[in-house]
């Protein structure tokens, strides 16, 4: 059933971080929602969000000191990429995208998406999100992505990391594989947690990346101490394979995190200047290949 009342899913604030980000810092995981008057929401969605249009995103990034971004198409818009593509088009080359597509999408359409700034395709394996792709089909699709130099991004329940591991390893032989939100593990299980260790075993393989976004999803208590421990461990162990993002405007969440708090957490997640620049500048540049303001 669709909820008809809008849900405010983000904070609007004037607060700025005390923590200054390096030039060309990249937020690799956000969404844009609507405006619904121009980009209607998918009829099969499980809730109706407050509009979170490109103008709000651009203003947030300006306040936080973020100059590059990767917008991940949202299931709230189904397979309609209009809102994401519109935001990218107004980003002056500093905003790229990750697409949601049906597995039957033509190779011609994938090539078109690449030409307008999409760098990868995301598939969801979450209980609250429909998926029309089986785990085994990922391998076939990854070969199609390899032909046009796009990568695979996956979002899954923590329990599925064991079930998907072998398939993802096969996919990684063809394309980079990006795992969302620290694999959605439970941060309270700590560094010895079963699912976290399964994630780390994948990260030890070639061609894997992980987003140290979502510390507020794996640890629901601000200032997310347990989440920061896992994120910092990943950055220390896999310095060239980690990416970071806000996950704005935080859909399907238990609470509304403060984006400034998430930025300031980077001081502990990437505590050295070298680690911070790798996480926010060099790693995104290498994977997403921004054409404007290339990382030095």
Q: Which residues are catalytic?
A: 247
Helix segments in 93-246, DSSP class H: 107-115, 137-147, 160-171, 194-203, 215-218, 225-237
C-alpha span between 43 and 22 (Å, rounded): 41
Q: Which residues contact 188 (CB under 8 A, 6 or more apart)?
A: 219, 226
Q: Match 């010895």 to its residue by tokens.
A: 192
Nearest to 287 by CA among 189, 183, 209: 209
C-alpha span between 145 and 231 (Å, rounded): 28
In degrees and rounded to multiples of 5, residue 278 shows phi and psi of -60, -45
* Cis upstream peptide for 223 (omega within 30°): yes
Nearest to 161 by CA among 113, 132, 125: 125
* Contact present, 269 and 235 (Cβ < 8 Å): yes
Q: What is the CA radius of gyration of the chain?
A: 18
């Amino acid at each position: 059933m669709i909820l008809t009342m809008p849900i405010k899913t983000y904070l609007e604030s004037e607060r700025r971080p005390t923590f200054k980000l390096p030039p060309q810092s990249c937020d690799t995981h956000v969404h844009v929602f609507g405006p619904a008057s121009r980009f209607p929401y998918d009829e099969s969605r499980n809730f109706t969000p407050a509009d979170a249009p490109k103008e709000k995103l651009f203003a947030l990034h300006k306040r936080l000191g973020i100059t590059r971004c990767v917008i991940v198409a949202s299931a709230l818009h189904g397979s309609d990429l209009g809102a994401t593509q519109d935001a990218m088009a107004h980003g002056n080359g500093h905003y790229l995208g990750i697409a949601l597509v049906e597995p039957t999408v033509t190779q011609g359409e994938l090539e078109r998406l690449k030409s307008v700034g999409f760098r990868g395709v995301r598939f969801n394996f979450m209980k609250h999100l429909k998926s029309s792709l089986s785990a085994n089909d990922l391998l076939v699709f990854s070969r199609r992505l390899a032909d046009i130099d796009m990568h695979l991004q996956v979002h899954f329940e923590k329990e599925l990391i064991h079930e998907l591991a072998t398939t993802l390893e096969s996919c990684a032989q063809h394309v980079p594989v990006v795992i969302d939100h620290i694999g959605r593990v439970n941060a309270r299980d700590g560094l010895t947690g079963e699912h976290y260790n399964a994630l780390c075993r994948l990260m030890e393989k070639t061609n894997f990346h992980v987003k140290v976004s979502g510390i507020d999803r794996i640890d629901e208590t601000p200032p997310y101490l347990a989440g920061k421990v896992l994120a910092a461990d990943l950055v220390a162990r896999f310095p060239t394979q980690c990416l970071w993002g806000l996950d704005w405007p935080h859909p399907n969440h238990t609470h509304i995190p403060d984006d400034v708090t998430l930025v300031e957490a980077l001081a502990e997640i990437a505590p050295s200047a070298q680690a911070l620049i790798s996480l926010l500048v060099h790693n995104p540049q290498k994977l997403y290949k921004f054409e404007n303001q290339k990382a030095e």
